[in-house]
Amino acid sequence: MKKILIAVAVIALVFAFGTVHAKDWKLVRIGVEGAYPPFSYTTADGTLEGFDIDIARALVKAMGADVKLVAQDWDGIIPALLARKYDAIIASMSITEERKKKVAFTDKYYNTPAKFVCKKGAMNDFTREQVAEVTAGKKVGVQRETIHDRFISDVGKDATIKRYGTQDDAYLDLVAGRVDMLLADSVAMSEGFLKKPEGKDFQFIGPDITDEKWFGVGAGIACRKEDKDLVEMFNKAIEQIRADGTYKAIQDKYFDFNVYGD
């Protein structure tokens, strides 16, 4: 009899705990960077804007929930998710095997290649196989703790790598001549630098770089591993906004090509 009473009590506690902590996802808090134009940036009045921001709002709306955007520096963005500062990350985060050890990813919501930028006429074009040779002895700038950082750290072993907290800081040093090249997402550099007045003397150089080992299979939404229901809700929402035209409307606001990829 005593064992039965104990078992019933344990079941009751488990049920109560689950009830108290069950997630209804009426409010979804999204971690964003706010310093990676055109995907995510902060306007002069402090408003968050960009492709990632619009996608975040559209996805949560499709889920029937309210959204709260939480700005977070890139190099602490996963630790803050795990510390429950927010529920998901929508910040152009590539789906890689290394990151999958810490977080759960949705399906991709876009996919664009990485590329190098340098001063016009500063060097000859090169192939993917020549990256190690071309970057040897060069100062190469990357945003810290990114896929681009990991790629050049592994492949450009004889390069001097300069790491920055934001992509904008890297642009400033390139213009000032403190680095010879930058490696970053091609769309981010095209829209956030090359098409602006400060980027007029600079150009893309070398191939599109898409090695899955470093760059994964596209940008996805990162969630805590235990929040499998949230991952599934996001996946359904991605399908919905792509089917109903919302995704294309957001894409066309920022880009003149298919940013989703194949």
Same domain for 126 and 197?
A: yes
**What's the domain range around 90?**
24-111+217-254
Same domain for 207 and 239?
A: no
Structure tokens at 110: 């876009």
* Angle (deg, nearest 10), helices 246-254 and 51-62: 170
With respect to residue 107, please indicate whether it lies within any of the assigned structural domains: yes
Same domain for 130 and 153?
A: yes
Same domain for 62 and 146?
A: no
Structure tokens at 160: 């001097």
Distant-in-sequence, close-in-space partners of 179: CB < 8 Å, separation ≥ 6: 139, 140, 141, 162, 170, 173
Same domain for 221 and 207?
A: no
CA distance 28 to 14: 25
The distance of Cα 197 from the centroid of its chain, to the nearest Å, equals: 26
Same domain for 81 and 170?
A: no
Same domain for 39 and 104?
A: yes
Same domain for 30 and 153?
A: no
With respect to residue 2, please indicate whether it lies within any of the assigned structural domains: no
Same domain for 54 and 128?
A: no
Question: Which tens digit of pLDDT belongs to each residue from 195-249?
Answer: 999 999 999 999 999 999 999 999 999 999 999 999 999 999 999 999 999 999 9
pLDDT at 169 over 60: yes
Rounded to an integer, the average pLDDT of 59-84 is 97
Q: How many domains does one find in the chain?
A: 2
Same domain for 242 and 221?
A: yes
With respect to residue 224, please indicate whether it lies within any of the assigned structural domains: yes
Same domain for 119 and 197?
A: yes
Average pLDDT of the chain, as a whole number: 92
Residues 150/156, Cβ–Cβ less than 8 Å = no
* Residue 21 confidence class, pLDDT cut points 50, 70, 90: very low
What pLDDT was estimated at residue 198? 97
With respect to residue 12, please indicate whether it lies within any of the assigned structural domains: no
Rounded to an integer, the average pLDDT of 27-33 is 98
Question: Which tens digit of pLDDT belongs to each residue from 104-129?
Answer: 999 999 999 999 999 999 999 999 99
With respect to residue 147, please indicate whether it lies within any of the assigned structural domains: yes
Structure tokens at 186: 């091609």
| Domain at 53, CATH number | 3.40.190.10
pLDDT at 56 over 90: yes
With respect to residue 18, please indicate whether it lies within any of the assigned structural domains: no
pLDDT at 11 over 90: no
Whether this prediction's pTM lies above 0.95 is answered by no
Strands 219-223 and 88-94: antiparallel
Closest Cα partner for 171 from 205, 150, 137, 200?
Answer: 200
With respect to residue 5, please indicate whether it lies within any of the assigned structural domains: no
What pLDDT was estimated at residue 78? 98
Same domain for 135 and 226?
A: no
With respect to residue 8, please indicate whether it lies within any of the assigned structural domains: no
